[in-house]
Structure 1
Amino acid sequence: MIRAYELTKRYGDTTVVQDLDFSVRPGTVTGFLGPNGAGKSTTMRMLLGLDAPTRGRSTIGGRAYATHSAPLTEVGALLEARSVHPGRTAFHHLMALAHTHGIPRGRVEHVLDLAGLTSVAGKRVKGFSLGMGQRLGIAAAMLGDPATLILDEPVNGLDPEGVLWIRTLLKSLATQGRTVFVSSHLMSEMALTADHLVIIGRGRLLADTTVADFVATAGGTAVKVVTPRASALCDLLRGPGIDVIGANGPDALEIRGTDSAHIGRVAAAHAIPLYELTPLAASLEQAFMDLTQESVEYRVTAPEPTGALA
């Protein structure tokens, strides 16, 4: 289990992480989410003893990371996959790590095969693509057969086959009873991989819950409507708390903040024909955007709608 107790990190007058308190339990894949600049990488570095907290503490398996006598066999970590000597081969990079813990050659060969790198084990890392570098980083994290995995953006640079591989691997590791803590900006992938979520914004904890509960409570409601009088229906429905946007065609709308019954009554009262009126399940991406909208570091202006809604 990973446990954070009021973790706080300041750099001068800037507070990057503030009073984070959460647990990551064995047997689940826990997604660690937040906008850019939220403090995710700093938090992971504090968990691994790479950054000292200004206040608070953390434990992995009931102990601070630095107190583990053989950390590779307790915690596997991937923070920066490219931090490898470029002149070494994949095999010799892993063997150098293995020698520090008395890990046998057979285990090195096993994780190379697990990561799909056996055919390039003798190649120098400087020639690796981003995806191959990620695979090598994951192989290194798995080298000591650890009970806990802490992975920062492990799918970055992977092709679709690689994304499927890491998704299957993480879920399999959790099924074995391991603790899996993984950050990602890919909401669609987290929706398929994670069981639990820890979400932060501007260094503060925003949510610590299951994926299902988070989507149900934070995602709001949305209804897809198809009507030849989309513009007229928009004008009738717009109001406080109700958002109307275009969706896949000039006659299609996505309406948030009300339900299909209200939309149907308004349309019927004004003789507006409806070709489709379908409640939409909230997505993890939309729920995340709704929760973190006040915590984003950089904002962009949405384009003006076109077609019937212009």
Structure 2
Amino acid sequence: MIEARSLTKRYGETTAVDGLSFTVRPGTVTGFLGPNGAGKSTTMRMILGLDRPTSGSVTVNGRPYADHPAPLHEVGALLEARAVHTGRTAYNHLLSLAATTGIPRRRVDEVVDLVGLRAVARKRAGGFSLGMGQRLGIASALLGDPRTVILDEPVNGLDPEGILWVRTLLKNLAAEGRTVFVSSHLMSEMALTAEHLIVIGRGRLIADTSVREFVGRASAGRVKVRSSEAVRLAQLLAAQDVTVVNDEDGTLHVTGLTSDRIGQIASDNAVTLFELAPQQASLEEAFMELTADAVEYRAPGGDGRPAGAEEVAA
């Protein structure tokens, strides 16, 4: 279990993490999300004792990371896959970690097989691809058979087979009762992997909830409508507190009206409907909506809407 209480980190006049409190519980894959510059990396570094909090505290399994007598057996972490001696082989890199922490050689062989590096275990890590480096980093994190696993962007550089492997691995670790805390910018993958989310922006907590509740909040009041008279229907639906987005294919996305009310308006005006259904937002859409005010770096003109979509103003 990871417990952060009023965790704060300042660098001069800049506040990277601001009064952050959350709990990451065992038995669940917890996703850690936030825009660039939100404070995710700083938070992870404080969890691992690499940065000292300005104020507040964070513990792993009841203790600060540095207070654990055998930290690799408590916490396995991957923050930077390239943090290896490039002249060592993958096997020797793991063996050196094991030798300095009392981990038997047989465990090195186990994790080499677990991450699929047996064929290249005797090759120098400096020649590894990004994906192979990720696998070696995950092997290092799992070397001590830890109760808590912290991974930052673990699928970065992996092919589809590798991404599926990481997804299955994380779910299996959580099913074994371990605490799994993972950061990623790949929303589609996080939607398939995580059960719970901690979302931060500008160093502050935005959401601490299940994936289902997070997406459901963004989906509330959204309706998908298809009609042969999409432009006319959009004009009929447009009103105060109602937003209608018209895709290039004529599909309307309506916020602020129920399906029943849209159907009644269409019927009253003899508009034929081909489809009328509540719309489920994707995790990416929910994330963009909830963190819109917390984005520090935004592309010019970026509003999060699909290309070619136009909004019908009230």
Normalised by the shorter chain, which TM-score bucket? over 0.9
**Counterparts of 1:98-117 in structure 2 under 5 Å?**
98-117=98-117
Asked whether the 8 Å contact 2:219–2:279 carries over to 1, the reply is: no
Amino acid at match of 1:184: S
Q: Using the TM superposition, give the Cα deviation of residue 37 of structure 1 relative to its aligned residue in structure 2, in angstroms.
A: 0.7
**Aligned-partner Cα distance in 2 for 1:294–1:30:** 23
Aligned-residue sequence identity (percent) comes to 64
- Per-residue CA deviations over 1:179-209 (Å, capped at 9, x if unaligned) read 0011111111111111111110110001111
Summarize the Cα distance change of 1:288–1:274 in structure 2 as closer, same or farther, 3 Å threshold: same
**Aligned-partner Cα distance in 2 for 1:46–1:81:** 18
Query: TM-score under structure 2 normalisation?
Result: 0.93
Aligned to 1:256: 255
User: Which 10-residue stretch deviates more, 190-199 or 256-265?
Assistant: 256-265
Aligned to 2:169: 169
Aligned residues: 308
**Aligned-partner Cα distance in 2 for 1:126–1:239:** 61
**Aligned-partner Cα distance in 1 for 2:241–2:70:** 54
**Aligned-partner Cα distance in 2 for 1:280–1:72:** 45
Tell me, what secondary structure is at the counterpart of 1:206?
A: strand
**Aligned-partner Cα distance in 2 for 1:240–1:133:** 53
Summarize the Cα distance change of 1:84–1:64 in structure 2 as closer, same or farther, 3 Å threshold: same
- Per-residue CA deviations over 1:128-177 (Å, capped at 9, x if unaligned) read 11111111100000000000001111111111111110110001001100
Aligned to 1:26: 26
Amino acid at match of 1:70: A
Asked whether the 8 Å contact 1:221–1:282 carries over to 2, the reply is: no
Amino acid at match of 1:259: T
**Aligned-partner Cα distance in 2 for 1:304–1:209:** 30
Summarize the Cα distance change of 1:304–1:113 in structure 2 as closer, same or farther, 3 Å threshold: closer
Amino acid at match of 1:182: V
1:266 aligns with 2:269: no
Q: Using the TM superposition, give the Cα deviation of residue 30 of structure 1 relative to its aligned residue in structure 2, in angstroms.
A: 0.6
Summarize the Cα distance change of 1:85–1:213 in structure 2 as closer, same or farther, 3 Å threshold: same
**Aligned-partner Cα distance in 2 for 1:243–1:125:** 53
Tell me, what secondary structure is at the counterpart of 1:177?
A: coil
Asked whether the 8 Å contact 1:184–1:190 carries over to 2, the reply is: yes
1:47 aligns with 2:47: yes
1:204 aligns with 2:207: no
Asked whether the 8 Å contact 1:150–1:182 carries over to 2, the reply is: yes
Asked whether the 8 Å contact 2:245–2:309 carries over to 1, the reply is: no
Aligned to 2:284: 285
Amino acid at match of 1:245: V
Amino acid at match of 1:258: L
Amino acid at match of 1:202: R
1:305 aligns with 2:304: no
Aligned to 2:223: 223
Which runs of no fewer than 5 residues in structure 2 stay unpaired?
none
1:92 aligns with 2:92: yes
Tell me, what secondary structure is at the counterpart of 2:224?
A: strand
1:194 aligns with 2:194: yes
Asked whether the 8 Å contact 1:243–1:256 carries over to 2, the reply is: yes
Asked whether the 8 Å contact 1:74–1:147 carries over to 2, the reply is: yes
**Aligned-partner Cα distance in 2 for 1:161–1:268:** 49
Query: TM-score under structure 1 normalisation?
Result: 0.95
Summarize the Cα distance change of 1:62–1:134 in structure 2 as closer, same or farther, 3 Å threshold: same
Asked whether the 8 Å contact 1:219–1:288 carries over to 2, the reply is: no
Q: Using the TM superposition, give the Cα deviation of residue 304 of structure 1 relative to its aligned residue in structure 2, in angstroms.
A: 6.8
Q: Using the TM superposition, give the Cα deviation of residue 286 of structure 1 relative to its aligned residue in structure 2, in angstroms.
A: 1.8
**Aligned-partner Cα distance in 2 for 1:51–1:94:** 25
Tell me, what secondary structure is at the counterpart of 1:275?
A: strand
Amino acid at match of 1:112: V
1:181 aligns with 2:181: yes
Asked whether the 8 Å contact 1:230–1:250 carries over to 2, the reply is: no
- Per-residue CA deviations over 1:57-82 (Å, capped at 9, x if unaligned) read 11001000001111111100000001
Aligned to 2:119: 119
Tell me, what secondary structure is at the counterpart of 1:57?
A: strand
Summarize the Cα distance change of 1:80–1:306 in structure 2 as closer, same or farther, 3 Å threshold: closer
Q: Using the TM superposition, give the Cα deviation of residue 238 of structure 1 relative to its aligned residue in structure 2, in angstroms.
A: 2.6
Asked whether the 8 Å contact 1:155–1:163 carries over to 2, the reply is: yes
**Aligned-partner Cα distance in 1 for 2:121–2:309:** 52
Amino acid at match of 2:167: R
Summarize the Cα distance change of 1:135–1:221 in structure 2 as closer, same or farther, 3 Å threshold: farther
- Per-residue CA deviations over 1:34-73 (Å, capped at 9, x if unaligned) read 1111000000000000011111111001000001111111
